[in-house]
C-alpha cells in the first residue's frame, strides 16, 4: 500500500510515537484519525494539521468508543486502511518490595491498556478493513502494533510492562494468520529507548545514561524513526506476521 492512498487510525496519536506517525502519514499524502484520550492534545493537533486529520476521543479499552472512532474515520474519509497502535502506559514496580507484593490492580491496568487495548483496536479496525476493495496485491489493510524491547529484555520492576508487550509480540503471528484470508497484514515494532514525552519527564542526567547504553547510534531513538519504519511496513507487502526491534542494537541490562 502507498500512504498517499490510505487512511490511518493512530492510537496515542496526539504525542510521541503516535504523533510522529500521524505526521508521516500526512507528509506522504495520506489522511489520519488521531485516536487519543479526551484530555490529550489531539483536538489541537488535528486543527493544526488541517483537513487531512481528525481527532477521535476514545479509551482504547472501551469497545463502544473505539468502534465510534473507527466510524468517525469512515464518515470523514470513506474507510480505514491502516491501524497503528501506539497507545500505552508503563509501571515500574517490583513483584515484591518493602511495601509488600505489587498491587494486582497495577498489573491488571497495564495489561488492560497495553495488551487488551491493542487487541480491541486491531479487531475493530480489521473488521472495517475487511470491507475494503483489495488493491493489486490483494491487500485490504495493514495493522502495526507497538511492543517494546522489554518484551525480550524486561528489567527489574518491569513485570507488568514486559508481560503486556510480550503479549503484543505473541499475538502478532496468529492475528496475521487469522487475517491473511481477508488481505490484512499485521506487524509489530519493538522500540528500544526513545525520546518520548514519558522519557522527557526524567532528569537530563538519567536521560543521558539511558542513551549511553545504546551501541549505535549512541543516543535516544527519535519518534520520526519509528514513523519511518511504520511507513516502510505499510509500503512493503512482504512484511507480515513479524516483530521488528528498533533499538540501535540495545540489549537491556537487568536494571
Alpha-carbon gap, residue 32 to 26, rounded angstroms: 7
Residue 164 contacts residue 108 (beta carbons within 8 Å)? no
Taking the C-alpha atoms of residue 187 and residue 5, their distance in angstroms, rounded to an integer, is 20
Q: Which of 77, 107, 161, 226 is catalytic?
A: 161
Phi–psi pair at 90, nearest 5 degrees: -125, 160
Q: What are the DSSP E strand ranges found in 58-179?
A: 82-85, 96-97, 100-101, 141-146
Query: Model confidence over 5-39: pLDDT tens digits?
Result: 899 999 999 999 999 999 999 999 999 999 999 99
Strand pairing category for 82-85 and 141-146: parallel
- What is the bridge-based pairing of β-strands 82-85 and 7-11? parallel
Residue entry with cell 479509551 = 59
* Closest to 122 in 3D by CA, of 10, 246, 242, 237: 10
106 exposure class (CB count in 10 Å sphere: 0-12, 13-18, 19+) = middle
* Alpha-helix residue ranges (DSSP H) falling in 149-220: 150-153, 159-179, 197-200, 204-212
Residue 55: predicted pLDDT: 98
The reported pLDDT for the residue numbered 46 is: 97
Predicted confidence (pLDDT) at residue 200 exceeds the cutoff of 90 = no
- Per-residue cell: 104: 494486582
Residue 248 · residue 192 · CB < 8 Å: yes
The x, y and z cell numbers of residue 29, run together, are 499524502
Element (H, E) at 188: strand 184-191
Q: What is the mean pLDDT of residues 211-219?
A: 91
- Grid look-up 519509528 returns 226
What pLDDT does 197 receive?
A: 78
Bridge-based pairing of strands 31-36 and 82-85 is unpaired
CA distance 124 to 94: 34
**pLDDT, position 128:** 98
Residues facing residue 96 across a β-bridge: 101
- Tens digit of pLDDT for each residue in 111-160? 999 999 999 999 999 999 999 999 999 999 999 999 999 999 989 999 99
Predicted pLDDT of residue 175? 98
Is the pLDDT at 201 greater than 90, yes or no?
A: no
C-alpha cell at 14: 496526539
Average pLDDT over all residues of the chain: 95
- For residue range 77-102, list pLDDT tens digits in order: 999 999 999 999 988 899 999 999 99
pTM above 0.85, yes or no: yes
> Whole-angstrom Cα distance, residue 151 to residue 192?
10
Per-residue confidence band for 231, with pLDDT thresholds at 50, 70 and 90:
very high
Q: What angle do CA 104, 168, 151 make, to 5 degrees?
A: 75
Q: So what's the pLDDT on residue 91?
A: 87
Superfamily for the 3-194+220-246 domain: NAD(P)-binding Rossmann-like Domain (3.40.50.720)
**Angle of helix 63-77 versus helix 117-129 axis, rounded to 10:** 40
Q: Domain limits of the chain?
A: 3-194+220-246
Answer yes or no: 104 catalytic.
Answer: no
Amino acid at each position: 500500500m502507498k500512504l498517499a492512498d490510505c487512511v490511518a487510525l493512530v492510537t496515542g496519536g496526539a504525542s510521541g510515537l503516535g504523533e510522529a506517525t500521524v505526521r508521516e502519514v500526512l507528509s506522504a499524502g495520506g489522511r489520519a484519525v488521531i485516536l487519543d484520550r479526551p484530555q490529550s492534545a489531539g483536538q489541537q493537533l488535528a486543527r493544526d494539521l488541517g483537513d487531512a486529520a481528525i481527532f477521535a476521543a476514545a479509551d482504547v479499552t472501551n469497545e463502544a468508543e473505539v468502534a465510534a472512532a473507527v466510524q468517525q474515520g469512515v464518515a470523514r474519509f470513506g474507510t480505514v486502511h491502516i491501524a497503528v497502535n501506539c497507545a500505552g502506559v508503563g509501571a515500574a514496580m517490583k513483584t515484591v518490595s518493602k511495601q509488600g507484593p505489587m498491587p494486582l490492580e497495577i498489573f491488571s491496568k497495564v495489561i488492560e491498556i497495553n495488551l487488551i487495548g491493542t487487541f480491541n483496536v486491531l479487531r475493530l479496525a480489521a473488521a472495517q478493513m475487511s470491507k475494503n476493495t483489495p488493491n493489486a496485491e490483494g491487500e485490504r489493510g495493514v495493522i502495526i502494533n507497538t511492543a517494546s524491547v522489554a518484551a525480550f529484555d524486561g528489567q527489574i520492576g518491569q513485570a507488568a510492562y514486559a508481560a503486556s508487550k510480550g503479549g503484543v509480540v505473541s499475538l502478532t503471528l496468529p492475528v496475521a494468520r487469522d487475517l491473511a484470508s481477508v488481505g490484512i497484514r499485521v506487524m509489530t515494532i519493538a522500540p528500544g529507548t526513545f525520546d518520548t514525552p514519558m522519557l522527557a519527564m526524567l532528569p537530563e542526567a538519567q536521560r543521558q545514561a539511558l542513551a549511553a547504553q545504546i551501541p549505535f547510534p549512541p543516543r535516544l531513538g527519535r519518534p520520526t524513526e519509528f514513523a519511518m519504519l511504520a511507513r516502510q511496513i505499510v509500503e512493503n507487502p512482504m512484511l507480515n506476521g513479524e516483530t521488528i526491534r528498533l533499538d540501535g542494537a540495545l540489549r537491556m541490562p537487568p536494571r
